[in-house]
Amino acid sequence: MPAQVIIIPSGEVDSAGNLTQQGKERAGALADYIILTPNFTSFGEPVSVFAARPTSLTADNTQACIQTAGPTAQVLNLPIHSGYSKLQDANLASFILNRPHYNGKNVLICWRPDSIQALASAFGVSSPPSFPDNTFNVAWQITFSPNPSLQILPQDLLLSDNTVSCGCGTNPFPSNTGFLTPDPILDSPDVWSFVSEPTLHPMKVTVNLSLAGTAPGLILLAPYAFSFLPCIGQQGALIADSAGNPVWFSPTGSSNLMNTDFRVQTLNGSPVLTFWQGTLATPPVYTNLPAASSEIGSCYHILDSTYATIQTVAAQGGYNSDIHEFLITPENTALLLSTKAVPMDLTPFGGPQDGFVNDFAVQEIDLTTNELLFFWSALGHIPLTDSFEPASAAVDSNNVWDAYHLNSVGLVTDGSNDILVSARNTWTIYRISRTSGNIVWNLGGKNSSFTIDSDAEFSWQHDARFLAFTATDNTISMFDDNCCEGETVPPGTPPAHGLVLDLNLTSMNASLSTAYFHDPNINVASQGNVQTLPNTNKFIGWGQSQYYSEYLAAGNTENTPSLNLIYDASIPSNNYTYRAYKFEWTGTPFFPPKLAVVSSNGQITVYASWNGSTETASWQVFAGNSPTHLTLVASAPKSGFETAIPVSSSASFFQVQALNAGSSVIGVSDVVPFE
């Protein structure tokens, strides 16, 4: 039995059944996709290439499959086996599955799109989906250990391609090692459970400090765990209030799907929620890419105030949608980070000869037309010798070197059309012209344009943001991890902190403006962010160290960490949230409230909730012996995510209504029978 079968559709064809120019471009790009994509290379190069031959049917009397597979077969120096037509899918599958030559090998098949579903079934895939009409930018990967398993992957070979047709982060990427991610821990004092929403199990947060002076708003988190630990509670996107109560929770549905960069933004003048969703590569389950890389199939979701998904967005041009940044601009475009493993001999840098560089690219996409407006590649602009990440580390991640690790893109708001980009593994923040693509200046790292005062130095940083400017000065913020090339924090490592720097553009000197240390001081091995709130407070997510905090603007020092710290909370020890944000948000769910009725020791209790409703202030309970004749039997103020309401009625049917602060009904549940 083969280790893997890759099925690709024939490319775009014209009325004569031949590849169009776009189809020819796709065919030419397929070779690199099949041969060089690290997600495929663990099974070796394909040992055979099959392509569907023409049939006598008018619609299938075409050489399209042979033409599509041709360039890849030529690069592999393999013949094309075209002895089977699309009507012989069972024969082809039987031939490949039963021939010893293919045991443990990789096989490539180019097939007619309308027969790919049948071919997958013939290989033993249980209930494969239908292949979408007029779709050319996906590949179907079937692996056979222990049973036939289908993964739908984007090709993204042409700039016009995107991964929306691949489910947009809804399918977890399969492990390349055979290890399995532990199931989340749901039965724990650190996990919420609800009677009216029994499928929701978000983590609980602990509020350690809450003083006067905090900014209004709700807190947005995206809990997940690395693949060697079970997440405490489900992974997903969580909105919580300052007391730690859930307001809205949307689980990803898999231990191998995560959300990151969950926040409120503005699109076309309206507030929206945005987040990345996909599989995050972490060992031991995923070693095909550097740790914290995005696997194929990830993308970004945009939700409106009713929690309906109104748009999904994906990186283009063969790049993966990266976890670190999805920023909607005032022009209703999206600035995002993307990654692609580029083959390279790494021996000049101390790495493997058959290596790859994990290139990071900034992309700007028009959210109306999906047009790619701006593309900037780190590999094309930043010398690899600037990296502090040793190239030798590539051997631990399928020979892929994470030389750059870009982790934020922000707007420079001085009218210049520039952007601010942070690269963790070069310890540098770059100001880049979107007009020319040139680097305007480097802050930090091996080739800094600025001298940096000793108390303003930083390393392994995240989340660089442009705050203010004058004719001679810029002010920026960042999260200074001060750590690490590895997961172990070296002795003597300075504590992580939020950092605001003043940049003198005349003397080209960077000096400390303010700093924000945790109480107690902590080390942070990765992740983190600093958000400037509308009232000038700073809200800080401490990344891999499980805390999030709010500070008055004046900040503190390493020796006075409690100064101006006015709020602090922590999440369970196994969990991380890449960033933590605070925003004002009004949620009006498109779905109705939920209720459950429970009888215990002679007392009937109605449990009412409405996931995501920020306007519910109180509940009314209606009951009766007919679903069409209900009367008011109880009311109660809303209490947390779920409100328990004792009732004296022993009716057969119940319903709840949600009321706002003005006592207007804003939501009505379904009628629930009770026996």
Q: Answer with the residue of higher pLDDT: 178 or 274.
A: 274
3-state secondary structure of 214: coil
Mean pLDDT of 112-131: 92
Task: Give the distance from CA 291 to its chain's centroid.
Answer: 14
pTM listed for this prediction: 0.83
Count Cβ atoms within 10 A of the Cβ of residue 98 and give its class: 0-12 exposed, 13-18 middle, 19 or more buried. exposed
Range 583-591 average pLDDT: 97
Q: Please tell me the distance from the alpha carbon of residue 540 to that of residue 565, in angstroms, as a whole number.
A: 11
Half-sphere exposure of 157 (CA within 13 A, CB side): 24
Residue 394 half-sphere exposure toward CB, CA atoms < 13 A: 28
Structural domains of the chain, with CATH: 4-158 (3.40.50.1240), 206-518+569-583 (2.120.10), 594-673 (2.60.40.10)
Instruction: For residue 620, give the DSSP letter.
Output: E
- What pLDDT is recorded for position 228? 94
What percentage of the chain reaches a pLDDT higher than 90? 81
**Which tens digit of pLDDT belongs to each residue from 418-470?**
999 999 999 999 999 999 999 999 999 999 999 999 999 999 999 999 999 99
Give the per-residue pLDDT at 164: 44
pLDDT band (50, 70, 90) for residue 650: confident
User: Using CA of residue 269, residue 273, residue 278, residue 280, what is the dihedral sign?
Assistant: positive
- Quick: pLDDT tens for 127-158: 888 887 778 888 899 998 788 988 877 776 66
Q: What is the residue-averaged pLDDT of the chain? A: 93
Q: pLDDT tens for residues 350-396? A: 999 999 999 999 999 999 999 999 999 999 999 999 999 999 999 99
Residue 160 pLDDT level (bands cut at 50, 70, 90): low
DSSP letter at 368 equals: T
In the predicted model, is pLDDT for residue 490 greater than 90? no
Q: Which two tokens stand for residue 215?
A: 């900014």
Helices vs strands, H then E, count in the chain:
5, 43
Which of 488, 535, 485, 496 lies closest to 519 in space, CA to CA? Answer: 496
Least confident of 33-42, 336-345, 405-414, 564-573: 33-42
Are 259 and 237 contacting, i.e. CB atoms less than 8 angstroms apart?
yes
Q: Is the pLDDT of residue 567 over 90?
A: yes
Helix, strand, or coil (residue 581): strand
The pLDDT-based confidence of 39 (bands split at 50, 70, 90) is low
**Residue 42: predicted pLDDT:** 66
